[in-house]
Amino acid sequence: MRFAQEHAEWTIEDWMKVLWTDETWVTGGNHGRAWVTRTQEEEWDEATITERHKRKPGWMFWGCFAGITKGPGVFWEKDWGTINGVSTLYNCSFNH
């Protein structure tokens, strides 16, 4: 609410100067859960065990725009580290 009140008087020209950014994490494969009913004796039976990974392999995408100008759409490389203001400016530019 405070943000809306502070910017209520902004003009189109004011908003055109704002750089809007967002990122998303996309994973492939099945996203459902598998439920298995088993007896205590079957607890370690390989037919009742599904391998799980802490984090599925995936891809990070980042993009931006300001006014009517689209910035780059970036496939974020893992060795760039986390996405933040400094890393984004370092790794991305409108010239990419």
Top pLDDT among 75 and 14 is at 14
Is residue 8 one of the residues assigned to a domain? no
**Domain housing 51:** 13-29+39-91
Query: ∠ at Cα 15 (4, 76), nearest 5°?
Result: 100
How far separated are the first and last CA of the chain, in Å rounded? Answer: 36
Is residue 52 one of the residues assigned to a domain? yes
What is the arithmetic mean of pLDDT over 59-68? 88
69-76 sheet: strands from edge to edge: 19-27, 58-66, 69-76
- Strand, helix or coil at 93? coil
Per-residue pLDDT at 73: 85
Is residue 77 one of the residues assigned to a domain? yes
pTM of the model: 0.52
Sign of the alpha-carbon torsion through 85, 86, 92, 95: positive
What is the arithmetic mean of pLDDT over 8-36? 84
Is residue 1 one of the residues assigned to a domain? no
